[in-house]
Structure 1
Amino acid sequence: MPIPDEAAASAAHSVRHLFSRRSLHVPGTRLGAIALPAPIGRRHHWHYWWQAHFLDCLLDEHLRDPAGNALSEARKLARGIWLRNGGRWLNSYYDDMAWLALTLQRLDAMEGRRRPRRRVRVLGDALRSAHTDELGGGIFWNTTRDYKNTATTAPAALFFARAGDFGRAQELLDWLRTRVHDPATGLYLDGVKADGSAGGVVDRRVYTYNQGTVLGALVAVGGRENLEHAADLVDAVSRSTADDDGALPLGSSGDGGLFAGILGRYLALAVSTPGIGARAAATGRSLLATTAERLWTGRMQAGPGVFLFPPRQEGPVSLSSQLQAWTMLEAEQACR
């Protein structure tokens, strides 16, 4: 079944209507409730990095519909994140900060700013501080500084590439390729854990979203070798992660609810990049279309004109899963 042109707009309206709230009840702010029904009270974890992806979705919406109010809502969400985080931008996890740095960097660009706002510079400095020679390079996962992983290093590489620091971005990509790329599958593993040795030990877990951020960094830095590797990575994703129908696996809750959407965003970026190659572009578009169709055909009415998207969940519906659907539907439409 063809996905209608209004699918992304419907997902945007649904998530905003069902999940968007004032941050701590303060006017002029927004924050995404982490579940529907929303938990009561502040004792519940608020998921800093989910909010960064909510902000990214609003920016995707603005690109699709510049006449709407998504950019205004994005500004309110940025204020809400800052307020809920105690009036600061930093936290203890460099991957969280990389996600927020990326989307605030996008917001600056959409506002036409010639230099980054202080919040982007603060987050960028934090990422630079975590890029050390220990374990051969890469960026630490958190302030404990005993693990360097793809989940932090790849989005940071993309951030630095977009900031014009292509040397640092390439250095991070080289570390990823040397330390956590699995030639047998073509995919990227999770990271390297300090164990007292100079090289550490590789954590061989594989997550879909890590493939997406590596793709994003590869095409942002560019060059023949990076683009060829990006094309190979698209093929590896299709071969090793898609199901028999050619759809990406969808997470239902928790952090994993975001993973397929993140991969979808950067697949769309990759297949729209000149030089990626016709085969990889066709493969990526097929993955996006098949996954988006599954989300759209499986939607459930949650009220007049609003929907919840699969996978079906018992109990409260996670914000992460609905951002996943919104991101994927925006990505599919963007690269048609």
Structure 2
Amino acid sequence: MTPPDTTPPAVDWPARANEAARAVTSRFGQRLLFLPGTHLGSVLWPSNRLTNLVSPWHYWWQAHYVDCLVDTGRRELGNGATPAARFNGPGNPSAGKLASRLVTGMRMRNLFTFVNNYYDDMAWLALATLRLQSLAEETRKPGRRRNARIHKTLTLQFESASTDDLGGGTFWSKKRDFKNTPATAPVALYYARTSQQAKAQRLVDWLNTVLFDQAQGLYVDGARLNAAGEITVENTIYTYNQGPVLGALLEIGGEENLARAATVIGAVDRHLTVPAHAVVPGSEPDTRTSILRCDGTGDGGLFTGILCRYLALAALDARLPEEVRSTAAELITATAEAFWVGRRTDGGPLFSVHAAQPAAGTYPAGAAVELSTQLQAWMVLEAAASLK
């Protein structure tokens, strides 16, 4: 008699990512002032239709919303880019079309410009629209001249912000008193993806010289000039800062950059993880005892998702040692599983602020839910789906 097959069924990460995409777009997505051809994500759910005008404007949350939709659009493309392949059903716009409407909504909400006071915000949008343009070209629906105008405008901003002050790097804001990893790393990645390798490498070299913590193997926050004209370093380490540095190191390539990428992944595993309390026995990553830490609500609600986006690139990069790639993949799938296991399921998945805690605790019934935290879980699930 043949013994029963006790192998657990494979996790359908694309299906889970689609559920997250539907939940976020249906709960948070809306037109700007009911205008056709526009889309924006509300800061909070539930909210009224005027929220996007009266609440604080989170430009960079919307930029990551674009990136999430591009992730979903790439999976639609892999399934044939037909109406039947759409994450939200054949009667709805594709993820790519929704992302394009979101970019339109961002411009209108940002007073008809893509320029704002923070260079890191603009860098995130530049990266997202590069990916959106690539998706549009592959689906034979090019973004006309709009994406080119965005990149021309934002490139001028990055040129202005990437100066020799403090020895290099990119300013964080128009105040021009602080250069940091959150701005320098995504600008370096943008340069690398637009065939400006020398500029990208100079920014990475500055990060390595000024903001890399040798003892921990991670990048600290930033640096400024004090009253005495000396460079003072802000030593806080954030999860998301490691992500775009990884992306830039991989995009530029070369032996030193790839070795540094491997170092960062190992350091993330050692220093930026927590016990996987939300993972139940029998789930896919139950051999792993830790998952990526999360950094709360507000802007911090995006941090772990951003890190996972770039860990996924590392997990798929054959230039890295297999052990390093496996570590990156395990961190993603374990964290994704924890978010999934801990979700609330009333009215579609609603995800926790922290992967290691159930959503019923961090977002009990009746609580206002922030867009950033739901984008984060969606990003992590998309990262897991990309590994398959």
Would you say same fold, with TM above 0.5?
Answer: yes
- Deviation, 1:313, is 2.7
Contact kept, 8 Å, 1:182 with 1:188, in 2: the verdict is yes
**1:201 partner SS:** strand
- Deviation, 1:199, is 4.5
- Deviation, 1:274, is 2.1
2:109 pairs with 1:59:
no
Q: What's 2:57 paired with?
A: 46
- Deviation, 1:105, is 1.4
- Deviation, 1:4, is 2.8
2:246 pairs with 1:218:
no
Paired amino acid for 1:225 = E
What CA deviation, in whole Å up to 9, does each residue of 1:140-195 have, x standing for no partner? 00000000000000000000000000000000000000000000100100000121
- Deviation, 1:308, is 0.4
Q: What's 2:129 paired with?
A: 104
- Deviation, 1:131, is 0.5
Contact kept, 8 Å, 1:150 with 1:191, in 2: the verdict is yes
2:115 pairs with 1:73:
no
What CA deviation, in whole Å up to 9, does each residue of 1:67-105 have, x standing for no partner? 221011011001000010011000000011111111111
Q: Distance in 1 between matches of 2:134 and 2:12?
A: 29
Q: How many pairs align?
A: 334
- Deviation, 1:110, is 1.8
State how 1:262-281 maps to structure 2 within 5 Å.
262-281=306-325
2:26 pairs with 1:17:
yes
Paired amino acid for 2:332 = L
The equivalent position to 1:323 in structure 2, one of 375, 378, 388, is 375
User: Residues 150, 13 of structure 1: CA spacing in aligned structure 2 closer, same or farther, 3 A cutoff?
Assistant: same
Q: Distance in 2 between matches of 1:223 and 1:96?
A: 28
Contact kept, 8 Å, 1:195 with 1:201, in 2: the verdict is yes
Contact kept, 8 Å, 1:250 with 1:257, in 2: the verdict is yes
- Deviation, 1:198, is 4.7
Paired amino acid for 1:96 = D
**2:223 partner SS:** strand
Greater shift in the superposed pair: 107-116 or 268-277: 107-116
Q: Distance in 1 between matches of 2:110 and 2:26?
A: 23
**1:260 partner SS:** helix
- Deviation, 1:111, is 2.0
Structure 1 residue ranges, 4+ long, deviating more than 4 angstroms after superposition: 113-116
The equivalent position to 1:32 in structure 2, one of 27, 37, 41, is 41
- Deviation, 1:211, is 0.5
Q: What's 1:248 paired with?
A: 292
State how 1:172-251 maps to structure 2 within 5 Å.
172-244=203-275, 245-251=289-295
The equivalent position to 1:313 in structure 2, one of 353, 359, 363, is 363
Q: What's 2:280 paired with?
A: none
Paired amino acid for 1:100 = L
Q: Distance in 2 between matches of 1:14 and 1:313?
A: 15
Contact kept, 8 Å, 1:58 with 1:73, in 2: the verdict is yes
The equivalent position to 1:298 in structure 2, one of 329, 337, 342, is 342
The equivalent position to 1:287 in structure 2, one of 311, 322, 331, is 331
Using structure 2 for the length normalisation, give the TM-score: 0.83
- Deviation, 1:276, is 1.3
Paired amino acid for 2:352 = P
Q: Which has the larger radius of gyration?
A: 2
Contact kept, 8 Å, 1:309 with 1:322, in 2: the verdict is yes
Q: What's 1:4 paired with?
A: 12
What CA deviation, in whole Å up to 9, does each residue of 1:182-219 have, x standing for no partner? 00100100000121445420000110000011101100
Q: Identity of aligned pairs, percent?
A: 44
Structure 2: 5+ residue runs without aligned partners?
1-7, 87-93, 276-288, 354-361
Q: Which has the higher contact order (CA 8 A, sep 6+)?
A: 1
Contact kept, 8 Å, 1:251 with 1:321, in 2: the verdict is no
Q: What's 1:121 paired with?
A: 152
- Deviation, 1:335, is 1.4
